[in-house]
Structure 1
Amino acid sequence: MDTQTPPQECECGVQPSVFYLLATLLLTSCSTAMLCASIMTDHWEHVVWERAALAALANASSTTLQWLLDEKVAKIEHTGHRKGEGTFLVPMNGGIWTMCVSLEEEEVSILSRAGFPTQPVCTNYLADSEDDEPRADWQHRMQNLSISCALVCLIVLGSAALVGAFGVCKHQISAVLVTGVMYLLAGLFAMFTLMIIHFKRVQRTSTRGAHGDGTGDGVVGPQAPAYPLLAAREFSTAWSLELGWGGVVLATTTSLLWILLSKIMRYNPLSAMLL
């Protein structure tokens, strides 16, 4: 009598460690994209003018305001200047490097008829400041420090991507562990950048008063006539800052996943995980 051997079941199931590896790579991509997008975009803070407060300050200082673009922009005419010249109080949006006028090209074209510069107007925080006021100097130092932390974060993220790819492809446990540490450093420097921007904004709010905060954000043209009106500015954080905080949380989680992945690879080689 021929004995038939029962058919063997094919062990084609995917090991749970493979799903862990895929989840780690997916979260790594998300955290890297969020941090890079947060640093490179220019919506960390918005500068707007409170119209009621601006009108009250203008009346108190005997300043004549001309509202343009449905009261989106205010123009101050200067006595003794040629017709068309003046100071414009405009909304602005800024990132870590620059603060630029928040107007469309069509709106800039319309304002150019009233003397507004036709070229995009941006304030470069890396440029040397001619203002020797200690408060403004302190803010510029804080801004440069945030730029340095942001650049270090980008460098660490790029290096971590290369080291992580090498560790996964070549099954190098030490490289995987280093990747986890590097993502922790990237999240730390990103957090430094976010905290500096936060405290700089708190400083602006606390110094808001008759003399503003000593910076020219939101002012296009000679600043001296607009100086008493700077207290009407409002600084608010924007979506880039929130995206940065989300990136910090994901980067910290990613760091823990890479460190745990190195422990898994020590007892379960990556080649066995994928087979």
Structure 2
Amino acid sequence: MEAQTETPQGECGAVHPSVFYLLATLLLTSCSTAMLCAALMTEHWEHVTWEKSALTTLANASNTALQWLLDEKVVHIEDVNNKKSKGTFLVPMNGGIWTMCLSLEEEEVSILSRIGFPTEPLCTHYLADNDNEERRADWQHRMQNLSISCALVCLIVLGSAALVGAFGVCKHQISAVLVTGVLYLLAGLFAMFTLMIIHFKRVQRVSNRDSPLVDDTADGVVGPHGPAYALLSAREFTTSWSLELGWGGVVLATTTSLFWILLSKIMRYNPLFSMLL
């Protein structure tokens, strides 16, 4: 009698291994979705800085006076031959897919405003239609638009995958679970396209560093661009943590896709799993 009472208790307390697989799939899905969304929405894909030695050399060659401010974080330039050309600053910036912002604190901006720092928006929005902004080169327009388009598609696919996946698990729909796996594979693919576009955009800038005509954007320049035009080759573009987070999200999204596809197979060939849900 004692042995008969212990056996049902052991069976009731057992957890089917498929449940752990489902929990692992949901956890991996949450992590990959969060990483991709964070990577696409943050503004630390690239940093724009100025190399001091190269900047000094170019300034001497172009007869331009430099004034270092905020512990050599910001440079105020003035054309020696044109005293009226004031208020041009070389500043560090950080950018994402959508915007390019100044890497300065509000207090630092307030200090600079006392010596003529222009009261312009702290961020440049690539999606904004601003006719007053300096036009970028055609290749930069195309690359930026492609990266924005791929990022938007990735976010839309992620949102769709979350809805379809929730429906498939709650309603025990095998086809919806399989579609969720395909959607996460597409999300990782479009995220990879975005990362590759940003990478080739960076390679193009670095390879043409000595030719400012190829990259004549105003990234890192606040104020009149004329005095800074001869100094543009002293800019340094470096990648930052958002890009690395994006690559991690691509790997997790691909793994998540495989987990969802395998989950659909388990639901199809293991009826007990559907009963547990």
Q: Cα RMSD between the aligned structures?
A: 1.7
Determine if contact 1:32/1:157 at 8 Å carries over to the other structure.
yes
Letter in 1 for 2:207: S
Determine if contact 1:131/1:137 at 8 Å carries over to the other structure.
no
C-alpha spacing 1:34/1:105, structure 2 compared with 1 (3 Å) = same
**What corresponds to 2:21 in structure 1?**
20
Letter in 2 for 1:99: M
**What corresponds to 1:246 in structure 2?**
248
> Which 10-residue stretch deviates more, 204-213 or 253-262?
204-213
Shift of 1:5: 7.3
- Render the CA deviation track for 1:161-186: whole Å, top value 9, x for unaligned: 00000000000000000000000000
Structure 2 counterparts to residues 46-125 of structure 1, below 5 A? 46-78=47-79, 79-81=82-84, 85-125=86-126
Shift of 1:128: 5.9
CA distance in 2, matches of 1:206, 1:48: 17
**What corresponds to 1:36 in structure 2?**
37
CA distance in 1, matches of 2:197, 2:268: 39
Determine if contact 1:65/1:76 at 8 Å carries over to the other structure.
yes
CA distance in 2, matches of 1:21, 1:149: 30
CA distance in 2, matches of 1:132, 1:20: 52
Kindly indicate whether residue 10 of structure 2 is the aligned counterpart of residue 7 of structure 1: no
Structure 2 counterparts to residues 199-238 of structure 1, below 5 A? 199-211=200-212, 213-238=215-240
TM-score, length-normalised on structure 2?
0.92
CA distance in 1, matches of 2:252, 2:3: 49
Query: 1:234 is paired with a residue of what secondary structure?
Result: strand
Letter in 2 for 1:37: A
**What corresponds to 2:177 in structure 1?**
176
CA distance in 2, matches of 1:226, 1:111: 18
* Count of aligned residue pairs for this structure pair: 267
CA distance in 2, matches of 1:104, 1:5: 73
- Render the CA deviation track for 1:15-56: whole Å, top value 9, x for unaligned: 111000000000000000000000000000000000111011
Shift of 1:189: 0.3
CA distance in 2, matches of 1:246, 1:89: 33
The percentage of counterpart residues that share the same residue type is: 78
- Render the CA deviation track for 1:71-99: whole Å, top value 9, x for unaligned: 110011242427xx321000000000111
In structure 2, list runs of 5 or more residues that go unmatched: none
CA distance in 2, matches of 1:91, 1:180: 41
Query: 1:7 is paired with a residue of what secondary structure?
Result: helix
In structure 1, list runs of 5 or more residues that go unmatched: none
Determine if contact 1:123/1:217 at 8 Å carries over to the other structure.
no
- Render the CA deviation track for 1:237-257: whole Å, top value 9, x for unaligned: 000000000000000000000
- Render the CA deviation track for 1:108-132: whole Å, top value 9, x for unaligned: 0000011112454322223467666
